[in-house]
Each structure stands twice: as structure tokens, then as C-alpha cells.
Structure 1
Amino acid sequence: MQAPSLSFGQITKFWMPLAGTWLMMALEGPYLAAIIARLDRPTENLAAFGIAFAFAIIIEAPVIMLLAASTTLVKDFTSYLALRRFTYKLGATLTLVQLVAVIPPIFQWIASDLMGLPSEVSRLAHHGLTIMLPWPIAIGYRRFRQGLLIRHGMTRRVVYGTALRLATMTATAAALAQVPNISGIYVGATALAIGVIVEAASSRIMTKQLVAQLNGEGSLTTDPLLVTQPAIRRFYFPLALTSVLAMAIQPTVTFFMAQSRDPLQSLAVLPVIHGLTFIFRAAGLSYQEVAIALVGNNWEHYRQLRNFGYALATGTAGGLGLIVCTPLATFWFQDISGLPPHLAKFAVLPAQILVLFPAWSVWMSFQRAILVHARLTTPVTWASSLEIGTVAVLLMVTIKTFSWSGAVAASTAVLLGRLIANLYLTAPVTRARQQPVKHQIVRN
């Protein structure tokens, strides 16, 4: 029987709201930082906000892949209940981890003894991380619910939730900023916490009808192994570990750059380069759930999604190249990003090295989507381990042996690390496509 058609237009319509969601998420950190910078003692509060935000991101990293898990696994009410139970357990566990981390003696040991933070920055960061305690369970629950929306083609509702979160953050930050002598960390952390809670609540409202529909349809799960907690753990643990490993790349890069040639310049331009590349990488990051939802149990739409991925990879890499490989680079880094002329010039070469990074991010998202859809998640973790290992080795060699500039070494290492991970996943993806998904179970 001929597979139903899936046009570029249909894929684009499904993908664009998710891409918009990623772009909006990329704006929230810089937006809140801009507000904090205009309040009292901006230096200490910006530093504390950065530390608290980084801690919170690392702690909640294991819930990030719940979006992909929900899109993949929730086929009926039975599987919905099973993954919801797993989501609650994971969220509660990570909340407990964060609760332990904010115990004053423990946080003091981490922030002051291990990281060497100034006492005032440590104190403010501790308060910020405490305010953000709702993050793990709220974000996990929200991503679980949003996976239901994606699976049922309701991607616009996902972007509505993100827009609501940003609006809530804006209103909260604007209101708190009027409080006399308030520290910026309280403004930023409270806005983030309330924003994710509101988005989680909105995701429940948006999926209420879907859940009722699943409940009325009865069980479609043919294999009971799909919905047991041990099976879900076997499926999800590699994905959670992948998120944690991905979070480890940035600290690794920062550590080596601090010991490189031109360390201050490299550390100064890295966030600006990262921000620029993320704009184009967001398109690829959002493509993972698109491919999971649309590829079909028997890979009916693999070819169409692959071809769309080719176009997306070409467009994102071309868009980045149009900026960093032309006179627009000076305009972006100097006029838009506000770098001094010498730093704007310094940022160009590292940014040019990363021109292909958005394309390889699309490739990675598509590969992960195929493996997650096939319930073969262990290779995803091995690829991430190989990626961070490659980054660390290349940084060590280029900085310690060849004395490269830190920014150039970092860009080269990150680009080649991603390529190695892409190449590693080629064989598992080929194997995954050799049998229909509907006959596979949650095993690795």
C-alpha cells in the first residue's frame, strides 16, 4: 500500500511553531539579564543570576528529553498514565537533589570552596537557586504534556504556552523591578520560577481534552513491556544521560579557554558567538520532535523528512555563513552585539569555523529522532560521550600543544566533536530502519 503523502508545506507548518518556541526560549536569559543590569549592584547580581541559572539548568537537564519520550511513547491512556507516573517520580527526585544543593553548608562548600565565588555572589546565587526550586518538576511536567500536543499535531499550542511563559516573566519582572532596593537576582529567579509554573499549568489545560480522548479510546498498547516503569527507565535513562553530558560541554570549553592563549578575549566573545549560532541551531533542535512525530511506524515518511532536513541544514548553515563570512560580521558583532572593535574582529574567525555547526545540528536531531522513535536510545548516549571526549582531547591538544587561541580552539573542537558524534550514529540509524517500529519494545 502506498504511504500517505507528506509535503514540504505540511512539514514546515508542523515545524515552524516548535522552531519559534526554541527561539523564544533563547531570549529569556538575555532579556532577564538586561533587566538585572539596570537594577542596583548589577555586577554581583548578574554573576549570581548566571550561577543560579547554570545550577538550575544542570539539575533539570534529565527532564529535557521528556518531550521526545512523550511524543514517542504515549499512544493510549495506559501509556499516558505510565509515563506521567515516571515524570512525577523523576521531577520529585530532581527537586530533592536541588533541595539538598541549597542546604546552606552544602551550597557554601560548592560555591565558595570548590568554585571560589566571592561571598556576596555566593549568597545571592544561593537565594536565586532556592527560589527556582519549582523548576525541575514544573519543566518536566510541561515537557511531558507538550509531547502530547506534538504527537497530535497541535504544535501551535506549544508556542502559545511559551509565549504565555514569556509574558508572565515579563510582567513579574516588571512588577518586582518597581520594589525599592530589590536585588536583581530576586527579580530574575522569581520571574523564571513563576513563568515555568504558569506554562506547566497552561500545558495541562491545553491537553485536558486530549487526555479525555485517550481515556475514551481504550488501550492500543500491544506489548505490556512498553508501559512498565522498568521498561520506561531503560528507554529514558540514556536520554537523560545524554542531556547531562550535553550540559558538560560548555564547562569543559570554559575550563580550557581559561588556560589558553588570549583567554580574556576568548571568554569575552564566546557568549556572543554562542548566541549567534544558537539562533540558527534552534531550527535543528526543534526538528527532533518533528521527525519523531511524523516519520511513521514503518518509516513511511523517512524520505520526505530526510529531504526537508537537507533543506533545513543548507538554509541554517547558509544563513550563518551569510553573516559571519561577509561584512555583516562586523555589523553583527560590533553594532548589534556591542563588542568593541578589537573583540568584534577577534570573534570573526571562531564564528566562521562554526558555519557548518547548524547543519550538523539538524543532522544530529534527525538521527536522534530515528533512534528514539525506534526505541534504541543507548547509541544516543554513546554519541554524546564520544562528542564531549573529542572536544576535551582536541582542546587539550590545540591549547596545550599547539598554543592556539582559545576561541579558535573551542570552535574547532566543538565542530569536530559534533561531526564525530554524527558519524558514530550513522550505523545505528541504518540498523534502526531495518525493522518496523511497531514490532519493537523498549529495550536496548
Structure 2
Amino acid sequence: MSRKRQLIQLWQQFIPLSLSDVSMALGDPLTTTTLAHLPDARNNIAAVGVAKAIAIFCESPIIMLLHASNALAPTQASRRALWQFTLITSGGMSLLLALTTIPAIFAIVGEGWLGVAPSLSGTIRSTLTIVILWPLAIGWRRYFQGLLIHSGESNAVAMAGIIRLLVVGGILAGGFALRANGAVVAGMSLVWGVIAEAVVVTFLARRLGATKLPELVSTPELPKDLAGVWKFYAPLGGTMILGWGARAALVGIVARANDGSIALAAWPAAWGLVIVVANSTRMVQQMIIRNRQLLPDRVLIIFAITVGLVCSLILLSVSGTPLSQDAIGWFVGNDPELIARVRPVLLLCAVMPLLVSLQNALQGFLVSEGRTWGVNQAAGVGAVVMLGAAYVGTQLGQNGAIAAALGMMLGVTMEIGYLFYSWRSIRVSRTGAND
């Protein structure tokens, strides 16, 4: 098969999966736009941004369940063990999130560690209370998404993502029409959107046969029990804890910048738009895990770079045109100062989709080799660099949103460098062994 035909097939598999991530990411700008047109917009945008940072940190250990489900789907023993692991860890993370809503604990986490103003504490805790079931629903959903991807049913994953977006949009529209409390509306849309997606993806997985146990009972390469799954998954879960924990800590750095009050609103608003495009590249990792034994590595790398370049050009064209200022104004409301802080971040982050595509591609190569500790170590390097760069930026007087953006890009770049080094080491050692 020609390389061109191989790339076309990869795009055909990738687009529905990417649509799922885009539909998920669109929830952020839709939420911000709704909040911007409801009372007390700036405070609610900031409060929801902080609440989501805490919630995602609690969710972070189970983010890689999708990757594990895809990788461990070939055998019966691995599937059963991973399902047990999914229920235990996802339920545990929801319990952890519930603990953060206790006033005494939130005083330590929110006001102490993150430096949140006491005036925002009540709104943030109310939002967190609403989304307590979010981690459990996320973990459940990701397990069945992985089975669908392994079975080649990427269209079903996209369909479930679209339904989630419709639920989110419906709740936000209803809240806007009723002029309801913005933070409450945001929390309801967040949790009910993912619950709806979890229900749909479970139904489709069963209907399409993705849950049917494979003929292969077990293999030496894949874990057979709960302890084995933990050993396989621990580095992946740790990777997300490092990454999302660092992003939660980044909120604390932004809050302590010279322009902390406006930066707390500008950063999540700008990053929400960046993620809509950058997240569309994340499924590159699933494509590599699924196709690693079917296609040459060179073709997979070319595919990842192509996806990243296309998405970076989209973000650049959206943020760099003369009409972008009017579009941003519609997005964040009639707040000239907020508009002025958001647009430079978008321009600065135009390269982020390419970086995210390369990051996920290299992670996919390592996961497919079972080298999950390399993924974890790279995330640690990226987190340290990101927080260090952002902190230095704010200490030098840079505005909080720009410092966060620079830190984020530098951190991801260093992570990519470490991932490439790890992947290259595997290739060299394999070549030496063959010699």
C-alpha cells in the first residue's frame, strides 16, 4: 500500500475520534460565552475556571483509562481487571473531589495553595459540589471509548461526543434564558454532559459488539489481574497527576501575578479557546496505539505532524485576522480589558496544536511499547519547566495570562524533547539487539 493511501486511511479513522475531542473541548468556550452574558461575569468566569482546575486535578489519575482500555482490550483477563480498576479509581476520585468541598479543606487547597480570594470561595465550592460525580462518569466513559476504538467503531465515539455537546449546549441555553446563576449553570452543564456521554457510549459499545469478550484469554505481555493493571497503569495515572496538578498550580501562580484578578479570568478564557483546536489532535495517540503494528513509524510520525500543522494553521487564522477582536468580544462579553488580555495569548499559543500532536504521538509510541514510565518522567520534566517559567515571568512583571501561556508552551516543548529521547533510546537498543 502506498504511503499516500496509508495516510488517507489514518485520516479516515482519526476524524471521527478528533470530532469527539473537539465536541468535548467546545464546552469550555460555550460556558465562558454564557457566563460572559450573565450577571457578575468576570467573577463567575474566574470561579468556574478555578473549580474546573481542581476538578480536573481530581480527575487526572483516570484520564489515561482511555489509553489503557485501547491497549488492554485484546484479552479477556486484561479487560476484566481493567474494569474493576476503573470502578475503584473513578469512584475514589469522585470521593476526593467531594472532600475538597468541605470548607476547612477548601481553605487549605483554594485559599492557601491556589491563593484564591475569599470572595470567590463560596462560588467555587458550590460549583465543585455540583460536579462531584464527574470523575466517576469520566472513568466509566473512557473505558467504553477504548473498547470502541479497539473495535474500529470511531464513529460511535464521535456520536456520543456530539450528544454530550448538545446536552451541554441545552443546559447553558436554558440557564441563559432563565438568567440563572452562572456558576451553577456551568457546573450542571459540565456534569450532565459527561453523564449523558457515558450512557450513550456504553449503549453503543454493547450494541456494536465492542464489549464482546475476545477469544484470547490472556497473554504474557498484558496484565491479567488488578495488581498487574495497577503496575501497568500507575505511570500513566502519575503522568496525568503531574500534568494536571501542575496546571492547577499554574492557577495559583496566575492568581499571584501583578494583574491577578483580571488574569484569573483571562487565562481560562483564552486557554479554553486554544484547547478547542489543540484537543482535536489528542486522538493521534490512539491512532498510533491501534496502528503501531500495522504501519511504519515514519508514516505515523508524518501523520502526527500533518495533523498538528493543519490545526495550528486553523488557530492562527482564527486569532490573527482583523475580525478576531470582534469574535473575542462576543466570546468574553463587552469587557475591553479582558479582550485585550485574551487576544495576545491566542496568537502566542498558535503553535500549541502542533506541540500537542507531537506530544501525543510520542506518548503513543511509548505506551505501545509498554514503556509507561518514560511517559511519566517526561510529564514531570514538562511540569517543572512550565511552572518555573510561569513563575519567573510573573516575578519579572509579565501579566499572568502571558506568563502562563509561555510557561505552558515551554513545558510541553521540553516534554516532547524527553519523550523523543526515550523513544529514540528504544529504537537504538532494538537496532543494537538485532545486530
TM norm. shorter chain > 0.5: yes
One-letter code of the match for 2:237?
A
- Structure 1 residues 102 and 366, CA gap change in structure 2 (3 angstroms): same
What are the Cα deviations for residues 154-174 of structure 1, in whole angstroms up to 9, with x where unaligned?
111111111222223344455
Residue range with higher mean Cα deviation, 169-178 or 376-385: 169-178
Q: Which residue of 2 aligns with 1:222?
A: 219
- Name the CA distance, whole Å, in 1 between partners of 2:37 and 2:318: 30
How far residue 105 of structure 1 moved from its aligned partner, in angstroms, is 4.0
Choose which of 206, 209, 220 in structure 2 pairs with 1:208.
206
- Name the CA distance, whole Å, in 1 between partners of 2:211 and 2:61: 29
Matched, 1:310 2:305: yes
Choose which of 185, 188, 196 in structure 1 pairs with 2:186.
188
Could you say what secondary structure the match of 1:356 adopts?
A: helix
Q: Which residue of 2 aligns with 1:10?
A: 9
One-letter code of the match for 1:377?
T
Residue range with higher mean Cα deviation, 115-124 or 316-325: 115-124
- With the length of structure 2 as denominator, give the TM-score of the two structures: 0.85
How far residue 286 of structure 1 moved from its aligned partner, in angstroms, is 2.4
How far residue 15 of structure 1 moved from its aligned partner, in angstroms, is 0.8
Could you say what secondary structure the match of 1:318 adopts?
A: helix
One-letter code of the match for 1:85?
Q
Choose which of 377, 391, 413 in structure 1 pairs with 2:407.
413
One-letter code of the match for 1:194?
W
- Name the CA distance, whole Å, in 1 between partners of 2:89 and 2:263: 37
Matched, 1:239 2:236: yes
Q: Which residue of 2 aligns with 1:441?
A: none
How far residue 4 of structure 1 moved from its aligned partner, in angstroms, is 11
Residue range with higher mean Cα deviation, 362-371 or 31-40: 31-40
Q: Which residue of 2 aligns with 1:375?
A: 370
- Name the CA distance, whole Å, in 1 between partners of 2:138 and 2:15: 22
- Name the CA distance, whole Å, in 1 between partners of 2:34 and 2:402: 32
Q: Which residue of 1 aligns with 2:271?
A: 274
- With the length of structure 1 as denominator, give the TM-score of the two structures: 0.83
Q: Which residue of 2 aligns with 1:197?
A: 195
Identity of aligned residues (%): 26
- Name the CA distance, whole Å, in 2 between partners of 1:59 and 1:394: 24
What are the Cα deviations for residues 199-225 of structure 1, in whole angstroms up to 9, with x where unaligned?
21211111114557733x422532175
* Residue pairs, 1:10-49, within 5 angstroms: 10-36=9-35, 45-49=44-48
> Is the 2:319–2:346 contact (alpha carbons within 8 Å) kept by the matching residues of 1?
yes
How far residue 313 of structure 1 moved from its aligned partner, in angstroms, is 2.4
One-letter code of the match for 1:207?
A
- Name the CA distance, whole Å, in 1 between partners of 2:341 and 2:101: 39
Q: Which residue of 2 aligns with 1:442?
A: none
How far residue 76 of structure 1 moved from its aligned partner, in angstroms, is 2.8
How far residue 367 of structure 1 moved from its aligned partner, in angstroms, is 0.1
- Name the CA distance, whole Å, in 2 between partners of 1:336 and 1:92: 35
- Name the CA distance, whole Å, in 1 between partners of 2:210 and 2:346: 49
One-letter code of the match for 1:429?
W
- Structure 1 residues 206 and 4, CA gap change in structure 2 (3 angstroms): farther
How far residue 110 of structure 1 moved from its aligned partner, in angstroms, is 4.1
How far residue 430 of structure 1 moved from its aligned partner, in angstroms, is 2.5
- Name the CA distance, whole Å, in 2 between partners of 1:345 and 1:46: 16
- Structure 1 residues 343 and 370, CA gap change in structure 2 (3 angstroms): same
- Name the CA distance, whole Å, in 2 between partners of 1:73 and 1:24: 26
Could you say what secondary structure the match of 2:371 adopts?
A: coil
Matched, 1:284 2:281: yes
Task: Tell me the number of residue pairs that the alignment of Structure 1 and Structure 2 aligns.
Answer: 430
- Structure 1 residues 253 and 317, CA gap change in structure 2 (3 angstroms): same
- Name the CA distance, whole Å, in 1 between partners of 2:316 and 2:184: 39
- Name the CA distance, whole Å, in 2 between partners of 1:103 and 1:346: 33
- Name the CA distance, whole Å, in 2 between partners of 1:159 and 1:13: 13
Could you say what secondary structure the match of 1:370 adopts?
A: helix
Residue range with higher mean Cα deviation, 226-235 or 67-76: 226-235
- Name the CA distance, whole Å, in 2 between partners of 1:34 and 1:347: 13
Q: Which residue of 2 aligns with 1:84?
A: 83
What are the Cα deviations for residues 26-63 of structure 1, in whole angstroms up to 9, with x where unaligned?
22133234445555665665554344333222211111
Matched, 1:427 2:418: no
Matched, 1:362 2:357: yes
What are the Cα deviations for residues 335-379 of structure 1, in whole angstroms up to 9, with x where unaligned?
766676676566565544433322121111100011111111111
- Name the CA distance, whole Å, in 2 between partners of 1:116 and 1:381: 28
- Name the CA distance, whole Å, in 1 between partners of 2:261 and 2:126: 29
> Is the 2:115–2:252 contact (alpha carbons within 8 Å) kept by the matching residues of 1?
no
- Name the CA distance, whole Å, in 2 between partners of 1:170 and 1:346: 26
- Structure 1 residues 272 and 71, CA gap change in structure 2 (3 angstroms): same
What are the Cα deviations for residues 157-199 of structure 1, in whole angstroms up to 9, with x where unaligned?
11111122222334445556677x8544433323332222222
- Name the CA distance, whole Å, in 2 between partners of 1:275 and 1:309: 22
One-letter code of the match for 2:79?
Y
How far residue 263 of structure 1 moved from its aligned partner, in angstroms, is 5.6
> Is the 1:77–1:211 contact (alpha carbons within 8 Å) kept by the matching residues of 2?
no
- Name the CA distance, whole Å, in 1 between partners of 2:185 and 2:397: 42
One-letter code of the match for 2:423?
V
- Name the CA distance, whole Å, in 2 between partners of 1:19 and 1:78: 29
Q: Which residue of 1 aligns with 2:433?
A: none
Q: Which runs of 5+ in 1 are unaligned?
A: 437-444
> Is the 1:6–1:301 contact (alpha carbons within 8 Å) kept by the matching residues of 2?
no
* Residue pairs, 1:73-152, within 5 angstroms: 73-107=72-106, 110-111=109-110, 121-152=120-151
How far residue 90 of structure 1 moved from its aligned partner, in angstroms, is 0.7
